[in-house]
Amino acid sequence: MKQLLLLRHAQAEEAHAGLADLDRPLSPRGRAEACAAAQCIALAGLRCDAIWVSPAARTAQTAQIVLSELGLKLQLAFQPEFYLGNPDALLAPLGHCASEVQALLMIGHNPGLSELAQRFNGDAPEIELRTAGLCLIRFAPAASWGNLRPQWVAGLQLLR
């Protein structure tokens, strides 16, 4: 059964002149939020076989904190499509995800991540992931990374 964990990056420092949006680091609050997201993953007993992230500094830092807190030795896979991507752009690279990966953690940005979660949530109440918000989507055994469909959702849960 495939599991897709959607994690919005933790809070970043405010934008300011001379700092590109891609380079915005986490704020002190953001570092604490990333730790809390990792604790949430651990308390839920979830595993991560792979971590795919946007190339933004704030997503990479969120991922590194999660890896460290969970004691994982995974390599980050940077996906340019995840930087401010819409749901279709977020799903496109998943066709290249190895079939043996059962649990994929995707770290990116809003509004794309919330829109992607909503796509799999159907007519249920609207999903809006806050900073370091975490959504777990479980898919039926027939699902593969290259063709995830709403009708194959076996469960969707907001964890944080």
Find out whether 58 and 24 touch, Cβ atoms under 8 Å.
yes
- Give residues with Cβ within 8 angstroms of 114, minimum separation 6: 8, 127, 128, 129, 133
Domains of the chain from N-terminus onward:
3-11+24-158 (3.40.50.1240)
DSSP of 37-88, one letter per residue? Answer: HHHHHHHTT---SEEEE-SSHHHHHHHHHHHHHHT--PPEEE-GGGTT--HH
pLDDT of residue 54: 96
| pLDDT value, residue 123 | 75
Q: What is the pLDDT of residue 118?
A: 94
Q: Cα separation of 61 and 59, whole Å?
A: 5
For 111-144, the pLDDT digits (tens) are 999 999 999 997 777 889 999 999 999 999 989 9
pLDDT for residue 84: 85
Predicted TM-score (pTM) of the model is 0.94
Q: Which residues in the chain land under pLDDT 70? A: none
